[in-house]
A and B are shown apart, each in its own frame.
Chain A
Amino acid sequence: MWSMITRQFMTGIVTLLVVITLTFVLLRLLPGGPFDQERALPPAIKANMEARYHLNEPLWAQYGYYLSNLVRGDLGPSYKFKSRNVSDIVADATGISARIGLIALIAGTAAGLFLGALAGIVRNRFWDGLLTFIGVSSISTPSFIFGGCLVLLFALTLRWFPAATLSSPKHYVLPILTLSLVPFSYAFLLIRTTVREMRHQQFVQIKRSFGLDEGRIALRHILRNSLLPLVSILGPITAAIITGSFAVEFIFAVPGLGKHFVTAVSNRDYTLVMGITIVYSVALILFNTLTDIVYGYLDPRFRESTKASE
């Protein structure tokens, strides 16, 4: 178990280095700098600005500065918002994105788990058809389409919920609903497949032959064993929520990480782009590691095999 966590941790470090290096190189190779504006700055001022941010030094030196600051937890100054540094902006935005993301993760997964298990168990043709339709539609709908339609229906037509920003609890409903679509569809499809397969497995057949009723078999035996695969896709769900957050924050004008990333890319705000990329990478690595630990803990086969090898 410990050896696996260490291995996971090492992969995380390597991944983080790859992310930092890749974004750094890509950003510096991009045509145009952060101080290229429509009206050209006087050369002296531009030179001074570049000197202040070390932009006049060779690439490897800039990389060195960046890494050494990073180790101290300093993401550097924002090139665009001169009064704030990247760490502050990223901290604010992370709070917002994480709040919406976590609620959506829990709500979506729970709903998907419930309906997916139901879809795996029902034998009635009508219900099976309906639930399958819901599942396939949910995986086939991009977040921006779902969010756009929700706004059109609930904000512009029915006027039940506000359409944008996050100024009151009511404002959170539509963004969270939109973002929970992805965890819902992932959990739904995976649980449905697992429950279906489980139904035919030997131990379930045996329980059935003992005369246990179907409802009890479903709850106590099938569902419990189906949770394992769900844990294993926690990483992909997190990744998908990150992807979804771009569309959701764009639609609902939420000042989260995704929104800042898009503006920072067009502003060529190198340090801000790097900062957000690093935060998202750390979140992904964290969830992947967590997945593996929980998985290792839950799966008895896994526990046995690692114990034997230690």
Chain B
Amino acid sequence: MSARLRWRKFVSNFMLTMTGICAVVSVAILFLILGYLLVNGGRSINWAFFTQLPRPVGEVGGGMANAIVGSAKLLLAASLIGVPVGFLGGVYLAEFSGPKVASVVRYAADLLNGVPSIVIGIFAYSIAVLPFKQFSTLAGAFALGLMMIPITLRSTEEFLAAVPRMLREGAMALGASKWKTIKTVIVPAAYRGILTAILLALARVAGETAPLLFTALGNLFWSRGWGQPTASLPVMIYTYAQSPYEDWHRQAWAAGLVLLGLILIINILARTILSRGIAVPRS
């Protein structure tokens, strides 16, 4: 075998090994995090974690029921803000706007998607907290809702654009107006993809901490309403993990595990939705 050929073989094998190692590393990191969370969180998670309020420092036990409910409220309100705007905007982009407007809006949405979440937080703080001199659940939901808009908008647009032209023509040939075609054929043909994207957007903001720090703030007790500060899982993790108390560290791990579990459930839900119903065959 010539030296040149041997060198080529070496390079080929070397690159194969390197790519393989990197692939394994990326999977390994996920499992490492999962394992860490399972071991540490699993030890401190118990029924009380889901049903009780946090206890004062020094008292062992307690739970984060208020943070779980708080996160759920935040996500619900965030969806009510982000999904309609993102969805209808996406419909406009895919179905009504000209290519020029579409590219501007698309670009803006991508930029908004890239705005650091802490900046979204400051913005929400100055818009929804300062004028009312009050940290609130709604302000936190506003910040998270803003983050959901670009993801929902872009994926709605993409899934609508992927609906075959011949389906549109089929509906229009039967005398459907443009809006009726969108409502009765195009959106139904794309809804599973859109719903999946919305769920993934939800999973993404479920773990956001920065936008909540100075909007929803945090709360060691039950939040007394939408206009009041609320606890949330990510902020709880942030506060508890920083504390010097061993018991609080364990609680933070448990909260991390619950949060990850929540995101996992959302992901599985998204996949289940995708695999059901009548799909338009690819051709």
Q: A and B from one assembly?
A: no
Binding site for A on B (CB under 8 A): none
